[in-house]
Structure 1
Amino acid sequence: MPTTTRLPIDQRLGNLVKRAEQVVIAGKTAVLRDLDLTVPQYSALLVLGEHPGISGANLARRCMVTPQTMATMLANLETRGLVERRRSEDHGQVLVARLTRAGQTLLRKADERAVELELRMAEAFNDKEREQLQEYVERLITAVESAGR
């Protein structure tokens, strides 16, 4: 006999958001696979492309991973010759990261594929619907964040 809950799973927004996230991650994983990039690695390259010289801690925050995970990821990307790290000119104890030429080239290839997927998702909506979806998701994030305070 099924357990009765206050809210059936098919009515839970959190479940729907998680399903959407899993579909997007699976799609990005598929388009990046033959480039030998994971979605988190692509995310790190993307942020580094926009913010060269960023610290590992700031990169971790922007990529929504722990500093420990980012340290491992940066070490792997550095070993592959995609990223270089140097001591910060401002803070000698802080390492900052930049894309190498190879990293920039791989980022361009990966981003073309990721953008195609993003555009496919966007095409499911007209302009007004995309704006509303963004507003609704941002409102959902705010509601969850404010509940934790």
Structure 2
Amino acid sequence: MSERLTTPSPPLPQPDANLGYLFRLAHQHFRARLDSELEDFGLSAQDYGILSVFETRPQLSTAELARISQVTRQTMHTSILSLETAGLVERIAKNQRVVLVRLTARGRNRLQTATRRVRAVEHAVLADLSRQDERTIRTWLASLAAMTPSPGNAQAEPTEEP
């Protein structure tokens, strides 16, 4: 018998669950939906994220892409090789030390088509929210993303007021 039929579904997370746990579950669910929608384009959510950086910056080094994507240079190098093999990006030597990466015409077309799918997933995820709720969530997420952790406060425990 299928494991799916014999294994009980995990309980749904509760709104008062640990915030980090809820972020993780939400991210995993969203990324799985993106991966599923982009699969027939030969892209993963990570690949789409890399390609989408080129919407605002025409060319970048692998190191810059790694910093923006918050992955190691080695991980980014592997991703760039895969995207280059697919004909979506090309590398151009700026000098002996710097190699820049940019989208090919095929990469731009794939990005445009994939973006429509990504927007459809976003729309589906946000469908139950009012415009104001969506704006609030987007503002809150953007402010969280912009925060820089302060080394002294990263591990601080909340204190109780007397």
TM-score after normalising by structure 1: 0.81
Shift in Å at residue 119 of structure 1? Answer: 1.8
Instruction: Name whichever of 66-75 and 124-133 sits farther off.
Output: 124-133
Amino acid at match of 1:119: H
The answer to whether the 8 Å contact 1:48/1:97 transfers is: no
- Note closer, same or farther for the CA distance 1:27–1:81 as it changes in structure 2 (3 Å cut): same
C-alpha displacement of 1:142: 6.7
Give the secondary structure class of the aligned counterpart of 2:91: strand
Whole-Å separation in 2 of the counterparts to 1:105 and 1:137: 29
Higher RCO (Cα < 8 Å, 6 or more apart): 1
Distance 1:138 1:41 in 2: 22
- CA distance in structure 1 between the partners assigned to 2:121 and 2:57 by the alignment: 23
Give per-residue Cα distances to partners, 1:1-33, cap 9 Å, x unaligned.
xxxxxxx99520111111110110011011001
- Matched residue, 1:111: 115
**For the residues of structure 1 that align with 2:79 and 2:31, how far apart are their CA atoms?**
18
Q: How many residues align?
A: 140
Q: What per-residue deviation string (whole Å, max 9, x for no partner) do you get for residues 30-53 of structure 1?
A: 100111111111111111233111
Alignment RMSD, CA only?
2.4
Corresponding residue number in structure 2 for 1:5: none
Could you tell me which residue of structure 2 aligns to residue 102 of structure 1? Answer: 106
2:106 aligned with 1:69: no
Cα distance, 1:92 vs structure 2: 4.2
More helix by share: 1
Q: Which deviates the most, 123-132 or 71-80?
A: 123-132
| Partner SS for 1:49 | coil
Name the structure 2 match of 1:34.
40
Give the structure 1 partner of residue 158 of structure 2: none
- The CA distance in 2 between the partners of 1:122 and 1:139, in whole Å, is 19
Unmatched segments (≥5 aa) in structure 1: 1-7
SS of aligned partner of 2:128: coil
Q: 1:139 to 1:111 in 2, by over 3 A?
A: closer
Q: 1:1-149 maps to which residues of 2 (within 5 A)?
A: 11-88=17-94, 92-138=96-142, 140=144, 145-146=149-150, 147-148=153-154
What's the TM-score, normalizing by structure 2? 0.75
| In 2: Cα distance, 1:67 partner to 1:35 partner | 25
- Where does the alignment leave 5 or more consecutive residues of structure 2 unmatched? 1-13, 156-162
